[in-house]
């Protein structure tokens, strides 16, 4: 089957969530507004996630996986998904399912006119500390990037794959995907999406890496912005 959209699902020690992930994504494929496949990226999980992922992929034709030899982090998992995707559109969702794949249809409504459509979590169901640290981190990022984005940490995005593959990823860059699309002169849109409490597993980010990490990554982004190469070919013999 020819798919148009690949959903990347980064996984790190999420054995307690994967049964729900299978159910939710399989249900979404029945109502997806474009033909869609699923790509699990197992980021070196040390629990039973790999065995569960293989079982899921054996049950569903549209599900595939890649597995890292060791844990490399969320940005690496997303980058690997971009590299392996062969569809015109690519997106991702966290395996904690605090967002719903159903909302991909809301993002896909706009992707023909934009190069990245990102969700903005409304009425977030996180703790006060997590919400405040995210607001501070987003404020720091906006001050450096001027990207105008309210919630770059939202794990629900759709990107045109040719733009995604040109992003020079580094650790922490998942927070800067809209800014990196803008560096390519791409157009970005925010769309409200639903948010839910985590029902299983544990969060992989704490207060320290929600604040210090984004601040350090901002300096890396500024360096990259200064050195970034962008060009448009106006004529070719091919």
- Cβ pair 150, 138 in contact under 8 A: yes
Q: Are 89 and 5 in contact (CB under 8 A)?
A: yes
Class of residue 158 by CB neighbours under 10 A (exposed 0-12, middle 13-18, buried 19+): buried
Token pair of 236, please?
């070719």
**Which of the 8 DSSP states describes residue 12?**
S
Beta-strand relationship, 156-160 and 89-93: antiparallel
User: 3-state DSSP call for residue 126?
Assistant: coil
Q: Which pLDDT tens digit goes with each residue over 170-209?
A: 777 777 888 889 889 999 999 999 877 655 555 555 555 5
pTM of the model: 0.81
* C-alpha pair distances (Å), 12 with each of 15, 72, 73, 116, 205: 9, 10, 9, 25, 12
Give the separation between CA 56 and CA 22, rounded to whole angstroms.
7
The model's pLDDT over 157-169, given as tens digits with 9 standing for 90+, comes to: 999 999 999 988 7
Mean local confidence (pLDDT), 109-117: 97
Is-contact 70 50, C-beta < 8 A? no
Q: What pLDDT, on the 0 to 100 scale, is given for residue 97? A: 87
CB distance 41 to 9 below 8 Å: yes
Per CATH, the homologous superfamily of domain 5-227 is Spore Coat Polysaccharide Biosynthesis Protein SpsA; Chain A (3.90.550.10)
Percent of the chain surpassing pLDDT 70: 79
């Amino acid at each position: 089957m020819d798919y148009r959209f690949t959903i990347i699902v980064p996984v790190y020690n999420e054995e307690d969530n994967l049964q729900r992930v299978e159910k939710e994504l399989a249900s979404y494929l029945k109502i997806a507004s474009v033909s869609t496949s699923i790509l699990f990226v197992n980021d070196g999980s040390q629990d039973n996630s790999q065995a569960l992922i293989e079982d899921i992929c054996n049950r569903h034709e549209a599900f595939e996986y890649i597995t890292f030899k060791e844990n490399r982090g969320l940005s690496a998992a997303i980058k690997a998904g971009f590299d392996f995707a062969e569809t015109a559109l690519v997106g991702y969702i966290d395996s904690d399912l605090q967002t719903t794949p159903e909302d991909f249809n809301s993002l896909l409504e706009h992707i023909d006119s934009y190069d990245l459509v990102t969700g903005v979590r409304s009425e977030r169901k996180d703790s006060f500390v997590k919400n405040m640290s995210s607001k501070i981190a987003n404020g720091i990022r906006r001050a450096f990037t001027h990207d105008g984005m309210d919630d770059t940490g939202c794990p629900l995005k759709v990107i045109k794959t040719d733009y995604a593959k040109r992003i020079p990823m580094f650790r922490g860059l998942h927070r800067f995907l809209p800014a990196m699309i803008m560096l390519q002169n791409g157009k970005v849109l925010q769309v409200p999406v639903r948010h839910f409490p985590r029902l299983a597993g544990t969060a992989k980010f704490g207060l320290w890496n929600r604040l210090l990490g984004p601040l350090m990554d901002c300096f890396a982004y500024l360096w990259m912005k200064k050195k970034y190469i962008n060009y448009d070919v106006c004529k070719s013999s091919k």
